[in-house]
Amino acid sequence: MNKSEPTDLKSIVMQGFKKSIASLLVKIVTAGLTYLMFVILSRTMSEKFYGQFAFGFALATILAVAASAGQEVAILRFWPEEIGKKLRKKANEALSAGWALVIIAGIIISLSLIAITMLFNLATSHELTSLSFIMAAASLILPLAMAEYGSSALRAQGSVWAALTPRDILWKASVPIVVWVLFFYGIKLNGTQALLLASFTLSLAMIVQFMIAKYLGYQTQIHFSSLKPYIKKRGKISFWFLISTLVDTAALNIDIVLVGLLIASESAGLYFNAFRTAGLITLFMYAITLVIAPMVSRHFHAGEIEKAQAVTSLCTWAGFIFSLGIFTIYLLFGDLILSLFGASYAEGKIILLLLSAGLLVDAATGPTRIVMVMTGHERQYVAIFGSIMLISFAILLIVIPIYGIIGAAIVNMIARIIAQSAIAIYAKKKIGLNTSIWGFGGVNFKELAISLKQSIKK
């Protein structure tokens, strides 16, 4: 699908604003459905089985990023670049090869996790059934990787609803409905069954997305023949996209995995709920980032720094105001919110506030990661953010056995504040884009205000 792109600052900002609102609406519904999914699972499962689900879900999420091979970021960069050069064939080849790479990597990593689990079982004489939830997590890796890449591929082509609705609404609505119906008939799921259900329903949602995308005329074809030349040309930069995304995802999920390994699955469930709740703080920031990524890439590489700064600043301030409001709600009602998962989870309020504080600073520094990756500074992002996160992971191994989940939350908060501040400073000095809440200094306020006023009137 071809649509003309705006060229003036007013139209660019308003295009980003309108698409961001659409993306936010989807993400608000998604957040509610995600929360509902975890609440119903928590309410209908024992703490042990829910902890297994939380552990498996977090592990599958990290490995799915590895399976995506950096392609969910790559397509957001390569598609607008090639389209901007009027090389649609090259853009199509990049998208098709990305699909092929994700599928191959997803299958290999899934089978590897199953093999490692079985070897561990033989070496330790565990009952295989006690580790079945890990193998169930393996079945979720490929669907998650394909869902992430499919969403990015459609967003790169200008879609919002087709990109987000199947995975974020259809999937996350179907899981709690099925779980609740089963519970109504007296069937309680264990960790393995819950993960298999998530995998099966997500696979169905992906089939629906392919059908919708094809009907709307978006590029969805998979060509394994274009994979070899693509890797030769784009493999090196894709590797850095992979590392940057893997580091970012690990920062959001490794705590849960380590808590499950070093303490108990019940603690992993409590930490999982607190972290997922805290993550709602960056909901709007994430929603806008989905929209501005290809816009930042297009304008920066065209030398249109003012336009890139305008969309970045809009993203930062809109996301920060939203985040500040959510943080205030957590201060007042955090324990009540967590009690939705069950009375025993209300004690996680201090964990919620510590994690939320780190994410609030994250929102204040803006879309630092996506700006660095879209402007060709993915290696620097990995070096700065990755080194800080690796140090924090090593500290977690020491802190968690001694101080438990509170220690994990404190380390997470401090590491996130330091890392996000560091890459925001780098982006300002080396890239020329101020991603923080102070970035409006490089934007034409008068033109931006007129644009927003006219949009509101319409």
pLDDT per residue as tens digits for the range 231-273:
888 877 778 778 877 777 777 778 888 888 788 777 888 888 8
pLDDT at 458: 40
Residue 458: strand, helix, or coil: coil
Q: What is the pTM of this model?
A: 0.72
**Which of 19, 108, 115 lies closest to 314 in space, CA to CA?**
19
**DSSP states of 356-382 as a string?**
HHHHHHHHHH-SHHHHHHHTT-HHHHI
End-to-end CA distance of the chain: 26
Tell me if 319 sits within 8 A of 366, measured CB to CB: yes
Residue given tokens 């998962």 in the structure block: 341
Q: What is the pLDDT of residues 303-362, one digit of tens each?
A: 777 777 877 887 788 888 989 999 999 999 999 999 988 888 888 899 999 999 999 998
Percentage of the chain beyond pLDDT 70 is 86
pLDDT at 198: 95
CA distance 443 to 125: 63
Instruction: Burial-class residue 119 by CB neighbours within 10 Å (0-12, 13-18, 19+).
Output: exposed
